[in-house]
Chains A and B, each alone.
Chain A
Amino acid sequence: MTLSNEQLQGRCERFLSAQPHMRLLGLRVVAAQPYRVTIELPVQERLYSCEVNTYLHGGVLTTMVDHASSAATLCALEAFELCPTLDLRIDHMARPRQDQPLRVDAECYRVTNSVLFTRATLYQQDRTDRPVAYAIATFMRPGAGHTDPDFKALIEGEAP
């Protein structure tokens, strides 16, 4: 990986900004380095339901982990490729607390010619003692020339 952490973070931030649903959730890139990224969901009152006393219910964590895992693939490839998710599994171990931001550390731990493999940990203040969830996912590489060139330029920061 010849890209610096700053270059990778810029790539991840442009990728996030290009996706309307990510902007809607208010996600932000905390840090990026080769093969790894950390993304944060700030405390969001509108995702708390007082009627049924639940926070981040019904797939918010899945959306977040899908995005973070996808961003981790951006940190594992020299040139941007838009890799669709093949599958994703998430194990939920604790209910998220509504008074703390939620972070996800995602890592692309294996790159092959066709497939990328990722794993991710969701946590709040204490990463090691009490993770909120673990997730693994696989992504399909589209092959050379199959990523839209305008979108590639946008994510690589080369847009006019």
Chain B
Amino acid sequence: MTEPLNDVLRQAHEQGEYQPLIDLIPYARIIGVRCERLGDEMIFRLPFNGDNIGNPTIPALHGGVIASFLELTAVFQLMLQQQAPTLPKIIDFSVDYMRAGLAKDTYAMCEVARQGRRVANCSVTAWQGRKREPIATARAHFLLGNG
């Protein structure tokens, strides 16, 4: 368990300001992940950024950036709901792409289907217009604790 993570997480919960937590992960900072708390729900936002373009002809977000945004959404959701937070380690990740990610903001939410002592099972949805018209969904398993 890392001390900086505990401190940052405690402060984030106290102040309702989650950016310092997100900025602990360099790739989250590079693609520009943001997070907003609505009641007890966390919604993650990826503001449009020209550096995240993969296909310049549409233009569309890079598929890898969309997948990474989904993965990071699950990582942060798990960190925020753990009692003794550690950085979840990815075991496997499976993404389905439904629509091109257009040049606008993308949103994502994660549902933790099961969180055991060692493993968590997550489903993540990313959308741009309506949530029921996702641009991509993903399933992932993470190793928790120091396992």
Contact among A24, A67, A82, A90 for B51, CB-based, below 8 A:
A24
Q: Is the CB of A21 within 8 A of B64?
A: yes
Q: How many residues of A contact B (CB 8 A)?
A: 40
Q: Does A48 contact B (CB under 8 A)?
A: yes
What is the bound-complex CA distance between A7 and B55, given in angstroms?
A: 21
Q: Does B84 contact A (CB under 8 A)?
A: no
Q: Is the CB of A90 within 8 A of B93?
A: yes
A-B contact count (CB 8 A): 126
Most chain A CB atoms below 10 A, which of B4, B26, B57: B26
A46 vs chain B, min Cβ distance (A): 6
Q: Is the CB of A49 within 8 A of B25?
A: yes
Known: A20-B50, A64-B64, A84-B97. A54 touches B25 (CB 8 A): yes
Q: Is the CB of A20 within 8 A of B65?
A: no
Known: A52-B2, A84-B100, A86-B96. A21 touches B25 (CB 8 A): no
Instruction: Enumerate chain A interface residues (CB-CB to B < 8 A).
Output: 18-22, 24, 46-49, 51-54, 56-60, 62-67, 70, 82, 84-92, 95, 148, 150-151
Instruction: Enumerate chain B interface residues (CB-CB to A < 8 A).
Output: 2, 4-5, 8, 24-28, 30, 50-57, 62-65, 67-72, 75, 87, 89-97, 100
